[in-house]
Amino acid sequence: MASHVPDIATFLTAQNAKGQLRFITCGSVDDGKSTLIGRLLHDSQAVLDDQLAAAQSESRKYGTQGDAVDLALLVDGLQAEREQGITIDVAYRYFETERRKFIAADTPGHEQYTRNMATGASNAELAVILVDARHGLQTQTRRHSFIVSLFGIRHVVLAVNKMDLLNYDEATFTAIADDYRAFARDLGISDVHCVPISALTGENVFTPAKFMAWYDGPSLMELLETVDVAAVAEEKPFRMPVQWVNRPNAEFRGFSGTISSGEIAVGDAIEALDSNRTAHVARVVGPSGDQERAVNGQAVTLVLDRNIDISRGDVLAAPGSGMAVADQFAAHIVWMSDTPMLPERAYTLRLASASATAQVTDLVHHVDVNTLDKLAAKTLQLNEVGYCKIALDRAIAFDPYVDNRQTGGFILIDKLTNHTVAAGTVDFALRRASNIVWHDMKIDKVARAAAAGQKPCVLWFTGLSGSGKSTVADRLEQKLHAAGRRTYLLDGDNVRHGLNKDLGFTDQDR
Amino acid sequence: MISDAETRDRADAAMHGSEALTHLDRLEAESIHIMREVAAEFRNPVMLYSVGKDSAVMLRLAQKAFAPGQLPFPLLHVDTTWKFREMIAYRDAMAEALGLELIVHTNSQGVADGVGPFTHGSRVHTDIMKTEALKQALDAGRYDAAFGGARRDEEKSRAKERIFSFRSKHHRWDPKAQRPELWNLYNARVAPGESVRVFPLSNWTELDIWQYILREDIPLVPLYFAAERPVVERDGTTIMVDDDRMPLDEGEKPEQRMVRFRTLGCYPLTGAVASSAATVEDIILELLADRSSERQGRVIDADQIGAMEKKKQEGYF
Ligand SMILES: Nc1nc2c(ncn2[C@@H]2O[C@H](COP(=O)(O)OP(=O)(O)O)[C@@H](O)[C@H]2O)c(=O)[nH]1
C-alpha cells in the first residue's frame, strides 16, 4: 500500500508540473455521457471508496450492467434529476492524471438546456462531443457543435461511443469522422479530433485500443492530456479590465484586475480606454508581492508612473492595439430567460468590468440551432440564438469575441427582476471610434480626372424596388465601357453583400 | 506576514519563468478575481469565517486580493459556544495579528434557552445555534454578499451550485432557478433584503487546499495536526473531551490518544481520526495514502462481486 504513495518532494514537483484543462462534455440522453464521465472519474481514481460502494449497491438495484458496477451511477444526481424531470444543470467534476488536472463541466444535451450548455462552454478550452456510433451525427451533434463554436472553443474531440456494439467497425467510424470534419470546417472549428471508444468497456478511453488495431491515434485520455490549449491568449496584445482601484493610503494607488490577454512588464507603456491616456507601468504587484512581469490569467495590481484618471470599467491595453471603444456593436446572443427578448427594452449589460444600459436595436436574424438556418425574427425565446445589434448608453472598450473571450463576452441583466437573461459574444463595433481622423491625400479629384482624360460625373438611379434600376444602369455602363470610359457601378443589392452587409431595411439603416 | 512565501514564490516564478501558470496559480487568480468583483459590486459584503482550513485559505486569498490595502469587508464568525477552545484562541490571535475587523455572533436566545448538543441533540443545536444564528447575524449587518469557503468537490449539491449563489429575503437557495454564470462575469444585482453567497473556493479540491497551505505557509488551528488528546468513543465516533461541559457516562474515562481532526466544528459533534500526521506534508501524504488504500479495497470488492455471481450460478439464493 505504502508503495503507491510517493514521497512529498516528488509529489509536489509532479503537481507543479501539471497543467490544467477546463473542458465541457456534451451529449444527449443515452449517448453514454454519464457512463463516460463515470469512467473518467473511476479510471483516474477520483472516486472514493464510499462513493463506489454506493454505486455498487445502486447498480444492483437500478443499474443496467447486471452485477458489474454501472459507472453512470457514479455521476450523482443526474439520473434522479432526469426521473423527476427537474432542471438538469451544469455539474462540475474534478479529477487528475499524471499530466494534467481536469475541471469538467458536465452539461445536459437537450435543446431545452442550451443555456446550461452555454454556461459550461463559456469557460471551457475544449469540448468532448459524444455520439452513439450506431446513429452517427444527429441534430443534437450539430447543435452542440454550433454552441461550441459560438462560445469560441477551439478544440473539439468527437467521441464516437458504443463501438463495442458495432464490433469495433472501422468503416462506421471513418464515415462518422469524415462527416464531422466537413461539418466542423463549415463552423470554423479549427482543431478537431475524432476518437472511437466504448465508455462501457473502457476501450480507448484510458487504455489504448485493444480491439481496434486499425486505429493508430491517441486514446481519449491521451488527447485530453496533450491537446495544446495554452499560448494563444499570451501572444495577443495586453488587456486588463480594471476591477478595483486600490488606494489604501496616499503613497499607493494601483489598478487591480485579471489579465485577459498578453503580458505586461515593469516599464511597458499602457493605454487606458476609454480615456485614451497613456502611462508606463511602474510596478506589477502579484499575489505574492512585486514581480517583473505578469501574463494572461494572472490577477495583479498595476501601479503607473503618472496619475491618470482610471476607474472600474476601464481597460488597460497595449497602446494602439486596436481595442474598440464604441456604443454600438453587432453580436450573437443566447436568450436565457423564460420571458422573451424585447427589442428596445433597456437591459443592464455587463462586459469585463464595465456596466452600461443596453438595448437590442435590431434583431438581424434568429439562428435555428439545429439546422443553422438564419430566420427572420422579431423576438427571441428561451434558448434561442440571435444575431443582433446592441446600442449602449455610453461607449465602452471591447474586442471581438474571437479575439478575446474576456473582453468580448457579455451578459444582459433584466433591470426589474435582476435575472441574467442573455449571454452574448461581440462580433464587431458598429460605430466608428471617435479617435479616427480624416487624412488629406495628395491625389485629388482633379488629378484623377486629368489622368483618366474624362470629366467626372455621378449618375443616381432612383425608383421603386423592382422598377428596373439595376438593369438600366447595367446597360448604360456597358455602353460607356464600350466607348472607352472608366466607370464603376455601385448597385444597392451588391453593396449589401459587402460593405453594407450589417445594414437592414429599416428607415435608419437605409 | 506573507513575506516568507513571497520570497519562495518569486524564486519559483524566476524558475519557471512565466510560461505556464500552475494549477494552484490559476485557482488563486480565479479566487482573487471573484473577491475583487464582490468588493466592487456589492454595497456591504462580509466574509463568513469558520476558523477552519478553508477559511484560512480564503482569508489569505483575500489579503492578497487587496494588498497592500486592508480587507474592504469584515469577517463574521458564528460562535455556537461549543467550538473547540483552540479554535477560539486561534481566531482571536489571527484577528489581532492581522488587524482584522472580526464580528462574533452568538444566538443569545439559544444561550438563554440553554440549547446545546448534549441536551438538545445535534439537529436542534445546529439549527438554532448555527443556521438561525447566521441568519440573525446577516440580517443584523444588512449584508448583501457573504463569502463562504465551501468547495464543489465537498458534496453533491455543491457540484451544481454557482459561485455567486443567489439567496431570497429569507436566505433560501432555489437550485432550480439559478442564474446562468458565464466566463468570469458575475451578476451581483439584488433587490433590498436579498443577498448572494459567494464561494471563491468553488473549484478547489481538498488536496488543492492542503497544497496551498503548504506552499503559502498558512498557519492553522493545531487541532488539524496529530497530538495526544483526551478522547472517548461514542457511537463509533471519537470525541475529544474539550471541557467539563461534556457529561461522561458511568465508567467512561477519557483516554489519551494520537488523533487529529479533518474538519473542525462544535467539539461534541466532530469526530477525530487516529493519525500520526504532525505536519502539512504528513497530512498530504495521508490523504494520498487513503486514496490508494481505497483503491486496493476496491479490487477486493470487485472480486467479491464476481464471487457473488459465481455463487449465484452455483445455486446460491
Ligand atoms: N454497449 C455500450 N453501451 C454503452 C456504452 N456507453 C454507454 N452505454 C449504455 O448506454 C445507455 C445510456 O448510457 P448513459 O451513460 O446513461 O447515457 P447518457 O444519457 O448520455 O448519460 C446505458 O444503458 C449505458 O450502459 C458503450 O460504450 N457501449
CA atoms A198, A200, A202, A205: torsion sign: positive
Question: What value does the mean pLDDT take over residues A157-162?
Answer: 97
pLDDT over threshold 80, residue B274: yes
pLDDT of residue A61: 61
pLDDT of residue A210: 87
Cβ(A349)–Cβ(A411) below 8 Å: yes
Distance CA B208, CA B284 (A): 10
pTM of the model: 0.83
Question: What value does the mean pLDDT take over residues B270-283?
Answer: 94
Question: What value does the mean pLDDT take over residues A22-48?
Answer: 84
C-alpha cell read off for B189: 444585482
| pLDDT confidence tier of residue B273, bands split at 50, 70 and 90 | very high
Is the beta carbon of A39 within 6 A of some atom in ligand 1? no
pLDDT over threshold 80, residue B291: no
CB proximity list for B11: less than 8 A, separation 6 or greater? none
Distance CA B27, CA A90 (A): 19
Cβ(A314)–Cβ(A398) below 8 Å: no
Question: What value does the mean pLDDT take over residues A167-188?
Answer: 94
pLDDT over threshold 80, residue A84: no
3-class secondary structure per residue, A333-399: EEECCCCCCCCCCCEEEEECCEEEEEEEEEEEEEECCCCCCEECCCCCCCCCEEEEEEEEEEEEEEC
Q: Could you tell me which residue, A343 or B17, shows the higher pLDDT?
A: A343
Tens digits of residue pLDDT in B17-70: 344 788 999 999 999 999 999 999 999 999 999 999 999 999 999 999 999 999
Distance CA A369, CA A383 (A): 9
pLDDT of residue B314: 32
Write down the mean pLDDT value for chain A: 86
pLDDT of residue A64: 59
Give the containing element (helix H, strand E) for B216: helix B206-216
pLDDT of residue B144: 96
Tens digits of residue pLDDT in A200-215: 999 999 988 889 999 9
Tens digits of residue pLDDT in B169-225: 999 888 777 899 999 999 999 999 999 999 999 999 999 999 999 999 999 999 999
Chain A hits for B158, Cβ within 8 Å: none
Cβ(A369)–Cβ(A385) below 8 Å: yes
CB proximity list for A33: less than 8 A, separation 6 or greater? A25, A26, A27, A106, A109, A130
pLDDT of residue A173: 97
Asked if B309 lies within 8 A of A312 by C-beta distance, the reply is: no
Provide the percentage of residues in chain B whose pLDDT is more than 90: 70
| pLDDT confidence tier of residue A5, bands split at 50, 70 and 90 | low
pLDDT over threshold 60, residue A438: no
pLDDT over threshold 70, residue A63: no
Distance CA A145, CA A180 (A): 10
What's chain A's length in residues?
510
Residue A21 in 3-state DSSP? strand
Distance CA A248, CA A185 (A): 52
| pLDDT confidence tier of residue A247, bands split at 50, 70 and 90 | very high
Residue B140 buriedness (CB in 10 A; 0-12 / 13-18 / 19+): exposed
Cβ(B136)–Cβ(B187) below 8 Å: no
pLDDT over threshold 70, residue A184: yes
Distance CA A355, CA A178 (A): 44
Asked if A116 lies within 8 A of B2 by C-beta distance, the reply is: no
Neighbours of A462 (CB within 10 A): 6
Provide the percentage of residues in chain B whose pLDDT is more than 70: 84
Say what the ipTM of the complex is: 0.85
Which of A16, A118, A348 comes nearest B22 by C-beta?
A16
Distance CA B194, CA B172 (A): 10
pLDDT over threshold 90, residue A327: yes
pLDDT of residue B9: 46
pLDDT of residue A87: 44
Distance CA B36, CA A400 (A): 25
| pLDDT confidence tier of residue A440, bands split at 50, 70 and 90 | low
Distance CA A400, CA A407 (A): 8
**Best mutation site among A200, A201, A212 for ligand 1 pocket (most ligand atoms within 8 Å of CB):** A200
For chain A, give percent helix, strand, coil, nearest 5: 25, 30, 40
Give me the phi and psi of B171, to 5 degrees please.
70, 20
Question: What value does the mean pLDDT take over residues A311-336?
Answer: 95
pLDDT of residue A48: 63
Question: What value does the mean pLDDT take over residues A423-433?
Answer: 85
Q: ω into residue B68 within 30 of 0, thus cis?
A: yes
What's chain B's length in residues?
317
Asked if A77 lies within 8 A of B156 by C-beta distance, the reply is: yes
pLDDT of residue A229: 81
A72 Cα nearest atom in ligand 1? 15
Question: What value does the mean pLDDT take over residues A470-493?
Answer: 87
Provide the percentage of residues in chain A whose pLDDT is more than 70: 84
Is the beta carbon of A64 within 6 A of some atom in ligand 1? yes
A35-44, A386-395, B136-145: which range is least confident on average? A35-44
Is the beta carbon of A164 within 6 A of some atom in ligand 1? yes
Distance CA B277, CA B283 (A): 5
Chain A hits for B293, Cβ within 8 Å: 1
Mutation for testing the A interface, residue in B21, B71, B183 having most A CBs under 10 Å: B183
Asked if B187 lies within 8 A of A420 by C-beta distance, the reply is: yes
pLDDT of residue A509: 60
pLDDT over threshold 70, residue A59: no
Asked if B180 lies within 8 A of A116 by C-beta distance, the reply is: yes
Within A113-237, strands assigned E span 126-132, 155-161, 191-196
Q: Could you tell me which residue, B11 or B264, shows the higher pLDDT?
A: B264
Cβ(A117)–Cβ(A27) below 8 Å: no
Q: Whose CA is nearest to atom 26 of ligand 1?
A: A162
A326-330, A462-466, B192-196, B276-280: which range is least confident on average? A462-466
pLDDT over threshold 80, residue A441: no
A26-30, A276-280, B60-64, B117-121: which range is least confident on average? A26-30
pLDDT over threshold 80, residue B295: no
pLDDT over threshold 70, residue A66: no
Write down the mean pLDDT value for chain B: 85
DSSP sequence for B149-215: ---TTS-TGGGG--SEEEE-TT----GGGPPP--TT-------TT-EEEE-TTTT--HHHHHHHHHH
Q: Could you tell me which residue, B19 or B273, shows the higher pLDDT?
A: B273
| pLDDT confidence tier of residue A466, bands split at 50, 70 and 90 | confident
pLDDT of residue B182: 94
